[in-house]
Amino acid sequence: MNQHDDIRDLLSLAAAGALDAAEQRQVEEHLRQCAACRAELESWQRLTGALEALPTPQATVGLVERTRRQLENQIAIRGEQRTRRTLFAWLIVVGWTITFLTWPLFHWGSNLAGILDISVSETGITQVWIGYIVVTWTVTAIVAGLLGHRYRQNHEGSTI
């Protein structure tokens, strides 16, 4: 390709204002002496001018408002999810705390039984403690399940 062809190939981008400084200079220099390229550039400029003048399609009335409502719902759902997660985390923390804190209490209880001359074996205390832990964790799981169920009901209600 000679210089004329090279420049001609750049004219579409020149009309689009997408040339770098060096290319722009090259094109301008060539245009000063080439009428055919000047005419070609004008054609490209009409095309790009028509693109710039395309009518802007309008969104339907209320799009922003609908989107806003959707965002508000989303924020409310997220808030509920955050609350649920926090609550669940607290239930776990409380469950484990009870698990660890109650063992010394049960142990102390067995010593107290010895002092009061009540016959309770170490194995019996351990079994009671394990039973207590099972009940604690079961209650925790039921509460978490009920909270989750209530959330699902609310969520389904809001999306209908």
Partner 1 sequence: MMSRVADAVWGVAVSLECELTRLRSGDVEAVAALMARYQHRLYRYLLRLVRQPATAEDLFQQTWLRVMERIQKYNPQHSFEGWLFALAHNLAIDFLRRHQPESLDDPLPSGDSRVEMIAGSGPGVLEQLLARERAGWMAECVAELPVVFREVLTLRFEEEMRLEEIATVLGLPLGTVKTRLHRALKHLRHAVEEKSGVRN
Q: CB–CB of 13/19 below 8 Å?
A: yes
Q: Which of 63, 87, 130, 139 binds partner 1 (CB under 8 A)?
A: 63
Determine the interface stretch with partner 1 among 58-66, 87-95, 102-110, 127-135 (rule: CB under 8 A).
Answer: 58-66
Candidates 67, 64, 17, 7; CA nearest to 38 is 7
Q: Which of 3, 6, 28, 74 binds partner 1 (CB under 8 A)?
A: 74
Q: Which of 4, 25, 66, 152 binds partner 1 (CB under 8 A)?
A: 66
Candidates 34, 33, 35, 11; CA nearest to 24 is 11
Question: Given the structure tokens 């009409």, which residue do they identify?
Answer: 46
| Binding residues for partner 1 (CB under 8 A) | 8, 12-13, 15-16, 18, 39-40, 42-44, 46-48, 50-60, 63-64, 66-68, 70-72, 74-75
